[in-house]
């Protein structure tokens, strides 16, 4: 064999001995927001505006740590020609509740209370509450002692027994007389007035949406020794960079403060600012935990992303991961069968200030969502959710009364999950 041939053979053998198996190319996790879904979201949201059902609407979605979608359509102020934008300020109503819950659970982490502690241990005025049984023939209220005390867990999941309806003969009149949510009340006055109204049912036996989260705010104030608004600002909003999530909209920002609209039949009417915005244009004594904040869509997305990231965002920890997991776990026993409007949200339970999706939708008529998702919404048809399975957070902003009369949330959810639903069809 010639020297040249030997050299070539030896070189080939050396290369073969050094060759490594090719590395497997990592699979790219399937995305919820593919091109089809993004186009469908645009079409869906634009359609609500084009049909005259909303004046303006915006949506922001993060998936796997990155902004995957933002768009806005229509007007924040239709009459002034001011477009809806990511800087628009909206009233978030009950999307205030999860923020209050995070404030409360920070104190839980510090050992300030246990969830099954009696509420009266910290707010003594709730230690003498009675339960409404009805009216006697003379119209006098019949009362009895509760089967057990109201616990802090009850006020985090709406099972305390507080009445919140105008159609309970005798009790509704008592609630109206108490004027619990008068904006001139302080949180302490609110608490004392509410404690003087009999409970509608025994604690823990029903789910009835109402003033529970306002009592949470009062409890935060009592346990922290700080005004509720200040505590929340210092421990939740400022650490997350949510500088435009506020109870009071300052003068210089009011051009960005979206108008409120009411849909009546096929007509969309602007509600007067002097009534629709009265809570936000001057400082009132009552700083509610259940409602009252305004926000921009980017601000609220930071809150949602913190929850998805197990309590932390951009190096700042607001809650421990175990606490977020607790908040996102159903707290309602199966024995709680009376659940007010909660079943309209789908196959859900309720955690600490969130609905928690336990099962896939039972039919195509239900709002779509992924098991493990937790979410809530607001009276003016706003919505947010956290989808841990797909590492996705979504915020939808609109200012529409009455609450979602047009299938807005269903349409938006279906647009987001259009591709996902093809791979995960309903039963």
Contact residues for 353 (Cβ-Cβ < 8 A; gap 6+): 97, 98, 100, 101, 156, 213, 216, 327, 376
Q: Is there a domain that residue 79 lies in? A: yes
Domain residues for 141?
114-224
Q: What is the CA radius of gyration of the chain?
A: 26
Gap between the Cα atoms of 401 and 415, Å rounded: 22
Element (H, E) at 269: strand 267-270
Q: Is 406 helix (H, G, I), strand (E, B) or coil?
A: coil
Q: Is 109 helix (H, G, I), strand (E, B) or coil?
A: helix
Please say whether the dihedral angle defined by the alpha carbons of residues 100, 77, 299 and 357, taken in this order, is positive or negative.
positive
- Asked if 357 and 262 sit in the same domain, the reply is yes
Contact residues for 128 (Cβ-Cβ < 8 A; gap 6+): 195
Q: Is 422 helix (H, G, I), strand (E, B) or coil?
A: helix
CA dihedral 249, 250, 253, 256 (to 10 degrees): 20
For residue 242, how far is the Cα from the chain centroid?
Answer: 15
- Asked if 212 and 245 sit in the same domain, the reply is no
- Long-range contact set of residues 374-378: C-beta below 8 Å, sequence gap at least 24: 374/307, 374/327, 374/328, 376/94, 376/95, 376/97, 376/98, 377/94, 377/95, 377/403, 377/404, 377/409, 378/91, 378/92, 378/93, 378/94, 378/95, 378/96
- Asked if 370 and 391 sit in the same domain, the reply is yes
- Asked if 217 and 348 sit in the same domain, the reply is no
- Asked if 235 and 302 sit in the same domain, the reply is yes
pLDDT digit of tens for each residue in the chain (427 aa)?
444 444 434 444 343 343 444 443 343 456 899 999 999 999 999 999 999 999 999 999 999 999 999 999 999 999 999 999 999 999 999 999 999 999 999 999 999 999 999 999 999 999 999 999 999 999 999 999 999 999 999 999 999 999 999 999 999 999 999 999 999 999 999 999 999 999 999 999 999 999 999 999 999 999 999 999 999 999 999 999 999 999 999 999 999 999 999 999 999 999 999 999 999 999 999 999 999 999 999 999 999 999 999 999 999 999 999 999 999 999 999 999 999 999 999 999 999 999 999 999 999 899 999 999 999 999 999 999 999 999 999 999 999 999 999 999 999 999 999 889 888 777 6
Gap between the Cα atoms of 313 and 308, Å rounded: 9
Longest dimension (CA), the chain: 122
- Asked if 347 and 393 sit in the same domain, the reply is yes
Q: Is there a domain that residue 6 lies in? A: no
Of 198, 224, 250, the residue at which a domain comes to its end is: 224
DSSP sequence for 303-344: HHHHHHTTTEETTEESS-HHHHHHHTS----TT----TTGGG
Q: Is 356 helix (H, G, I), strand (E, B) or coil?
A: strand
Q: Is there a domain that residue 268 lies in? A: yes
- Asked if 219 and 262 sit in the same domain, the reply is no
Q: Is there a domain that residue 27 lies in? A: no
Gap between the Cα atoms of 68 and 271, Å rounded: 33
- Asked if 323 and 213 sit in the same domain, the reply is no
Of 176, 196, 224, the residue at which a domain comes to its end is: 224
- Please, are residues 56 and 88 in contact by the beta-carbon 8 Å criterion? yes
The pTM score is: 0.92
| CATH code for the domain of 283 | 3.40.710.10
Q: Is there a domain that residue 123 lies in? A: yes
- Asked if 340 and 241 sit in the same domain, the reply is yes
- Asked if 264 and 190 sit in the same domain, the reply is no
- pLDDT for the residue 15: 38
Q: Is there a domain that residue 344 lies in? A: yes
Side by side, which strands form the sheet with 400-401? 267-270, 261-264, 400-401
- Asked if 162 and 248 sit in the same domain, the reply is no
Contact residues for 246 (Cβ-Cβ < 8 A; gap 6+): 293, 294, 295
Of 194, 224, 254, the residue at which a domain comes to its end is: 224
- Asked if 397 and 266 sit in the same domain, the reply is yes
How many structural domains does the chain have?
A: 2
Side by side, which strands form the sheet with 82-83? 82-83, 66-77, 56-63, 392-398, 383-387, 374-377, 355-357, 348-350
Strand partners, 383: 377, 396
């Amino acid at each position: 064999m010639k020297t040249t041939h030997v050299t070539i053979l030896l070189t080939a053998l050396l290369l073969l001995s050094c060759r490594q198996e090719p590395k497997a190319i990592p699979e790219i996790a399937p995305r919820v927001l593919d091109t089809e879904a993004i186009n469908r979201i645009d079409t869906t949201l634009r359609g609500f505006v084009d049909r005259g059902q909303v004046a303006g609407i915006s949506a922001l979605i993060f998936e796997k740590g990155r902004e995957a979608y933002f768009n806005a359509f229509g007007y924040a102020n239709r009459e002034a020609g001011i477009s809806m934008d990511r800087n628009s300020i909206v009233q978030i109503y009950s999307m205030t509740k999860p923020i209050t819950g995070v404030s409360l659970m920070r104190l839980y982490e510090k050992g300030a209370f246990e969830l099954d502690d009696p509420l009266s241990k910290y707010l003594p005025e709730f230690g003498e509450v009675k339960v409404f049984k009805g009216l006697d023939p003379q119209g006098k209220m019949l009362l009895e002692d509760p089967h057990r005390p109201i616990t802090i867990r009850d006020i985090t999941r709406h099972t305390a027994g507080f009445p919140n309806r105008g159609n309970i003969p005798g009790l509704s009149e008592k609630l109206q007389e108490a004027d619990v949510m008068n904006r001139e009340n302080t949180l302490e006055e609110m608490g004392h007035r509410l404690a003087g109204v009999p409970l509608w049912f025994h604690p823990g036996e029903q789910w009835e949406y109402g003033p529970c989260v306002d009592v949470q705010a009062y409890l935060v104030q009592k346990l922290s020794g700080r005004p509720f608004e200040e505590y929340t600002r210092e421990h939740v909003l400022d650490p997350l960079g949510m500088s435009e999530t506020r109870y009071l909209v300052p003068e210089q920002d009011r051009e960005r403060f979206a108008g409120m609209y009411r849909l009546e039949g096929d007509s969309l009417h602007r509600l007067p600012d002097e009534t629709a915005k009265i809570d936000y244009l001057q400082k009132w004594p009552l700083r509610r935990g259940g409602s009252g904040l305004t926000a921009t869509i980017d601000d609220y997305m930071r809150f949602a992303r913190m929850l998805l990231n197990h309590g932390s965002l951009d190096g700042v920890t607001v809650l421990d991961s175990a606490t977020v997991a607790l908040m996102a776990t159903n707290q309602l026993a199966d024995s709680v069968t009376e659940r007010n409007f909660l079943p309209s949200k789908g196959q859900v339970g309720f955690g600490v200030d969130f609905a928690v999706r336990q099962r896939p939708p039972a039919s195509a008529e239900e709002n779509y969502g992924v098991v493990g998702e937790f979410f809530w919404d607001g009276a003016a048809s706003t919505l947010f959710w956290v989808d841990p399975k797909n590492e996705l957070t979504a915020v939808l902003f609109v200012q529409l009364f009455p609450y979602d009369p047009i299938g807005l949330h269903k349409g938006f959810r279906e647009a987001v999950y259009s591709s996902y639903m093809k791979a995960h069809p309903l039963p």
